[in-house]
A = this chain, B = another copy of it.
């Protein structure tokens, strides 16, 4: 009966650690309870359900990722900014695989956290659009370009995490080249009048 002084934040934080070490798919209330030193049903005082916890982890990941990228891009422009952002994105995903995976969890339609997550996603998009400002793309093309960048980086990170690329060697080179190729494509697109 000692009062544990738990908060939703602490529960989410414990869940984040577990997801990062064991994998997002292996997250369970049992593990979280064990880690924070409480019986499983007590968690429901702080979190509505396992699914809600997953969603909260998703917004945590999106928030942290956005902050990291913002920090990484500050003071840079053009190619340098793009590279810094992409590297930062990948670094975050590798350092916090569980949180990052949570970022891709499908929110149930009922979840009120969906709005918050969408907001964070939107901020991320705005960040990418800001970085793309140097490329003279008109409004719609900028969105297409932002989607490509997000897709490319996300896809690379996911496949890497999964071991989907043969050898781990040269992965850093592949990543940098990938960014360069996209960069070159954007540049060649922005010089054409389309």
Contact = CB atoms under 8 A, between A and B. Distances in A.
Interface of A: 23, 25, 104, 106, 121-122, 125, 140-141, 143-145, 147-148, 150-156, 158-159, 162-166, 170, 173-174, 177-178, 180-186, 188-189
A148 B164 contact: no
24 contacts: A23-B106, A25-B106, A121-B164, A143-B174, A144-B174, A144-B177, A145-B181, A147-B174, A148-B152, A148-B174, A151-B156, A151-B159, A151-B178, A152-B152, A152-B155, A155-B155, A155-B156, A155-B158, A158-B158, A180-B189, A181-B185, A181-B186, A184-B189, A185-B185
Contacts of A183: 185
A118 B184 CA distance: 32
Given A23-B106, A122-B166, A180-B185, 18 more contacts: A104-B162, A104-B164, A140-B170, A145-B177, A147-B156, A147-B174, A147-B178, A148-B156, A150-B164, A151-B156, A151-B178, A154-B159, A158-B158, A180-B189, A182-B185, A184-B185, A184-B188, A185-B185
A60 to B, nearest CB: 17
